[in-house]
Structure formats: structure tokens, C-alpha cells
Amino acid sequence: MLPNMSELLFIQDGAPAHTAKATQEWCAQHFPCFWKRGEWPANSPDLNPIENLWAIMVDQLDELGQVSNNQSLIQKLKIAWESIDPDILNYLVSIMPNRI
């Protein structure tokens, strides 16, 4: 999606798995531009494009019907992901400056 990964800003929400010291250290070492714990505004899901993407994924999964086991869930998640047009992903990223 981005030709130059140095243009990517990697952020996480306040989930315990994201704020763990080991996770923070790993991200700081592997992402050139990483917002550490506390830099992302609290309670701001409208600023995170992944929230909109999850909503799209849920809609796609609803159309695919119920799952009966983990394997079925994984298969339907892959189908749902592959059905999302890359232009939608680009759009979700492109509107971020206006949201901020």
C-alpha cells in the first residue's frame, strides 16, 4: 500500500497486549515511526482506520453466514479480507489527516 514504509506511522490502542513492555520494545525496534504508549489520544477510535476496517469485515462476515468451528472462521475471515477492495484501504488511510 505504501511504496516507502518510512512513511508509515505505527500506533496501537491501550489494550494490555499492546502496552506490555516487551511489545513496546519490539515495536520501537522494528517500526521506524512508532508512537509509544501514552502518545495516542485515549478513547479515540474515530482516529483509528482499523476501527472502520473492522466494521467492513463484520459486514462481510455477516453476509457469509455463521461459523461452526475455528477452521470455518479462519476460512471466512480470509474470504472477507480478500473481498475488500484495496481502494477502500487506501481511502481509510487517506482521510486520516482530515480526521486529525
- For residues 29 and 12, membership in a common domain is answered with yes
Alpha-carbon gap, residue 41 to 90, rounded angstroms: 23
Domain limits for position 31: 1-41
Count of structural domains, the chain = 2
Q: Distances from the Cα of 29 to the Cαs of 18, 34, 39, 40, 59, in angstroms?
A: 14, 9, 17, 18, 35
Of 48, 47, 56, 43, which is closest to residue 83 (Cα–Cα)? 56
pLDDT tens profile 24-52: 899 888 887 887 777 776 666 666 777 88
- For residues 13 and 52, membership in a common domain is answered with no
- For residues 70 and 90, membership in a common domain is answered with yes
Predicted TM-score (pTM) of the model is 0.54
Residues in the chain predicted with pLDDT less than 70, given as ranges, are 1-8, 41-47
Q: Are the C-beta atoms of 30 and 57 separated by less than 8 Å?
A: no
- For residues 31 and 60, membership in a common domain is answered with no
Q: In sequence order, what are the beta bridge partners of 34?
A: 10
pLDDT at residue number 75: 93
- For residues 30 and 11, membership in a common domain is answered with yes
- For residues 31 and 72, membership in a common domain is answered with no
Rg of the Cα trace of the chain?
16
